[in-house]
């Protein structure tokens, strides 16, 4: 009895907790079109039948709890009921997470973990350029981004200043992709001495990289290209969700897929990982401009690129501009540092045969590959769903085909007696006619032939 009461109380408490959590996420409708500019909004666009949306639901509730004491409002919108609203904001897939800040609308492209979504909100709510007023503030920002990268403008923060104006515009355009700060040169440690002031510095991998204007002329395009090429660490850990963000840098991506399923594969993975980290950090003069090194544990991303079913560890070079990829012919377990360096230079100089691309046969191959992956995924997730989706239709089609192929053919109906009689009453020769008459008379009773 006591155990039953405890279970009841626990159930009530859990239900109350769920209700309290869910109350922070507002259900939106078409009226959101009228109010989305009035306050900062974090909105999930979802569909009730979407499995990824259901998986995201508890995480999104946790995000809403973390934002409950901030000006940011959290809501979700059912795109199956309010498709016009989803269309207005360019929603093309589910789930889609967007942040609304006045006239500005930003779309989350990273992982859907609580930490990544909160990081996205922190960037999107701005400001685009954050001021560091003291050395303490600089140390705080440096510690906050020790595993990532951030940018710092040094100089007079005057909108009239040409370089600061261009820096601010780049920060506005790349707000959700990185952090941008501004400060006076006095906030820097004594060991950091920029060549000129004003200037822009990139802090990453415990190093400082200074912007060098081409021909000494600062342009917005060159500054944006430089920021785009420096906004990632030398050898970051990425996932399938944010690899597209790295692809925007335009560099050839050197992807290493880590595998720790067994001891031998783990040893090979560690060796390749250390090798790539060495090239990324110690040979920047040769590879930093054209290559972005990264590693990941998601083998499915690499298999999707190559449309194959490889097992890790895997080493792949991907050109995001042409969609060509390269895989060394030397096995991962045997490749050396010198061989890898030479291979990278051959890839850069287009001396290595490329795979993939966007041709007709590649698109056709993509259709078949996606179909196979879908079938295998359904089979692994649910045998009953697989039988319902593929087994039942296949059985019905087989029965119909069998019935059509094995059905007896229907012969032509026999001709009528009148037609047969007409055909039989043909004109016969005289001798045959007399013989026929004689046989007919003998066949009739009472008409026997006399001798």
3 state DSSP class of 85 = helix
Cα separation, 438 vs 131, in Å, equals 131
Cα separation, 41 vs 71, in Å, equals 9
Provide φ and ψ at 294, rounded to 5°. Answer: -155, 160
Of 112, 88, 107, 71, the C-alpha closest to 29 is 88
Cα separation, 95 vs 125, in Å, equals 21
Cα four-point dihedral sign 313, 318, 323, 327: negative
End-to-end CA distance of the chain: 122
Provide φ and ψ at 131, rounded to 5°. Answer: -90, 135
- Whether the CB-CB separation of 118 and 126 falls below 8 Å is answered with no
* CA atoms within 13 Å, Cβ hemisphere of 180: 25
Between helices 220-230 and 162-173, what is the axis angle to 10°?
A: 50
Catalytic residue among 53, 79, 401, 405: 53
3 state DSSP class of 202 = strand
Of 286, 287, 276, 208, the C-alpha closest to 237 is 276
* CA atoms within 13 Å, Cβ hemisphere of 382: 7
- Whether the CB-CB separation of 230 and 149 falls below 8 Å is answered with yes
- Whether the CB-CB separation of 181 and 130 falls below 8 Å is answered with yes
For residue 289, give Cα distances in angstroms to 148, 250, 254, 283: 18, 10, 13, 11
- Whether the CB-CB separation of 335 and 316 falls below 8 Å is answered with no
50 catalytic residue (yes or no): yes
3 state DSSP class of 144 = helix
Query: CA 250: distance to chain centroid?
Result: 18
Cα four-point dihedral sign 371, 373, 379, 381: negative
Provide φ and ψ at 149, rounded to 5°. Answer: -130, 150
3 state DSSP class of 28 = strand
Catalytic residue among 19, 50, 401, 406: 50
53 catalytic residue (yes or no): yes
Q: Which residues are catalytic?
A: 50, 53
């Amino acid at each position: 009895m006591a155990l039953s009461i405890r279970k009841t109380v626990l159930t009530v408490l859990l239900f109350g907790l769920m209700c309290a959590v869910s109350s922070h996420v507002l259900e939106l409708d078409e009226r959101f079109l009228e109010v989305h500019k009035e306050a900062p909004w974090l909105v999930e666009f979802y569909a009730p039948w979407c499995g990824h949306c259901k998986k995201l639901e508890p995480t999104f509730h946790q995000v809403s709890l973390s934002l409950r004491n901030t000006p940011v409002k959290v809501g979700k919108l059912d795109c199956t009921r309010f498709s016009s609203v989803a269309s207005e904001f360019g929603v093309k897939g589910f789930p889609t997470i967007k942040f609304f800040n006045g006239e500005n609308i930003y779309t989350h492209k990273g992982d859907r973990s609580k930490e990544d979504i909160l990081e996205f909100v922190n960037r999107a709510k701005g400001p685009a350029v954050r001021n560091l007023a003291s050395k303490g503030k600089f140390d705080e920002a440096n510690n906050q981004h020790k595993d990532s990268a951030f940018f710092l403008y040094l100089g007079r923060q005057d909108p009239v200043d040409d370089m600061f104006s261009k820096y601010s515009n780049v920060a506005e355009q790349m707000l959700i992709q990185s952090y941008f700060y501004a400060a006076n040169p006095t906030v820097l440690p004594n060991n950091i001495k920029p060549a000129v002031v004003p200037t822009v510095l990139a802090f990453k991998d415990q190093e400082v990289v200074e912007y060098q204007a081409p021909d000494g002329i600062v342009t917005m395009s060159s500054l944006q290209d430089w920021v785009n090429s420096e906004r990632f660490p030398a050898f970051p850990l990425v996932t399938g969700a944010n690899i597209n963000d790295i692809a925007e840098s335009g560099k050839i991506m050197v992807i290493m897929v880590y595998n720790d399923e067994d001891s031998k594969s783990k040893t090979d993975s560690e060796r390749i990982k250390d090798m790539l980290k060495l090239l990324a950090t110690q040979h920047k003069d040769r590879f930093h401009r054209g290559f972005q090194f990264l590693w990941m544990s998601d083998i499915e991303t690499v298999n999707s690129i190559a449309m194959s079913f490889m097992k890790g560890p895997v080493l792949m070079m991907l050109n995001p501009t042409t969609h060509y990829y390269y895989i060394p012919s030397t096995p991962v377990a045997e490749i050396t540092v010198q061989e890898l360096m030479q291979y990278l230079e051959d890839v850069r100089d287009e001396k290595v045969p490329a795979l993939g691309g966007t041709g007709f046969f590649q698109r056709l191959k993509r259709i078949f590959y996606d179909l196979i992956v879908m079938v295998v995924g359904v089979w692994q997730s649910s045998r009953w769903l697989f039988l319902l989706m593929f087994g039942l239709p296949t059985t019905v089609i087989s029965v119909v085909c069998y019935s059509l192929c094995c059905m007896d053919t229907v012969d032509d109906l026999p001709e009528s007696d009148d037609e047969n009689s007409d055909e039989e009453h043909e004109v016969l020769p005289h001798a045959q006619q007399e013989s026929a008459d004689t046989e007919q008379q003998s066949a009739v009773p009472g008409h026997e032939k006399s001798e």
